[in-house]
Amino acid sequence: MPRSSRIAVLALMLCGCAGLTTRPPPPPPRNESVEEDRDDAAAVLMGNTFQTMQRLSQAPEAEQAELLAAARMSYERTPQGGAQLRYALLLATPGHPGRDAPKAQGLLRQLVAQPETLVPIERAVALIELAQLDRELGLKADNDRIQSELQRGEHERVAAAAQRRLQVEIDENAKLRRQLEDAQAKLDAIANIERNLTDRKNPAEGSPK
């Protein structure tokens, strides 16, 4: 083989090797089965959580306390993800004395702000429950504000009525005082007339016949 041909072949081989060394490796295959298994496990846990929520709203008070305490302990061990969602959902469940809607709202807001800690079904449940709590607590705040305004208005109405009654009593006392002063003036006038008559009568009785 001529020298020029050998050089050309060598150059082609080097170019091929350079291309092989600089080409990025293919991405690893996506393991969809692992994600599906995780979603399935989360769906089962959500189903169990919904059943616990139903028991929590119907069970005796002692059992309600046990269910809520177990959820709280699980959350305290792992304060994020599914454990936090489960605890928040139980706190938001109506019908038990340990219900704490504001605390549940705060926990759910934390989860929604960190969506990577939840799988899709958990994120959907968190968003739905948070929307319901936002509406409930918003309506409660509006109702409390209205009640406060009504109570303040009632207080002002009572105070105004008391002020009116006080003014009526003051006016009535002033009227009675004027009547008393008029009566006293009349009595003084009568007493003065009687005194004058007495003074006139006494000299007449003492004069000689």
Closest residue by Cα to residue 98 from 129, 135, 57, 132:
57
Residue 135 structural domain: 46-149
Quote the number of domains for the chain. Answer: 1
Query: Is 80 within the bounds of a domain?
Result: yes
Report the candidate in 44, 47, 30, 42 with the shortest Cα–Cα distance to residue 120.
42
Q: What is the residue-wise DSSP string for 97-164?
A: TT--HHHHHHHHHHHHH-GGGS-HHHHHHHHHHHHHHHHHHHHHHHHHHHHHHHHHHHHHHHHHHHHH
In a domain, 178, yes or no: no
How far is residue 149's CA from residue 141's CA, in Å, rounded to a whole number? 12
State yes or no: pLDDT of 99 exceeds 90. Answer: yes
Task: Note the Cα 129 to chain centre separation in Å.
Answer: 15
Tell me the per-residue pLDDT of 3-41, one tens digit each, with 9 for 90 and over: 444 444 444 444 444 444 445 455 555 555 656 677 788
Whole-angstrom distance, CA of residue 6 vs CA of residue 90:
79
Residue 90 lies inside a defined structural domain of this protein: yes
In a domain? residue 145: yes
- The 10s digit of each residue's pLDDT in 31-59 is 556 566 777 887 888 899 999 999 998 99
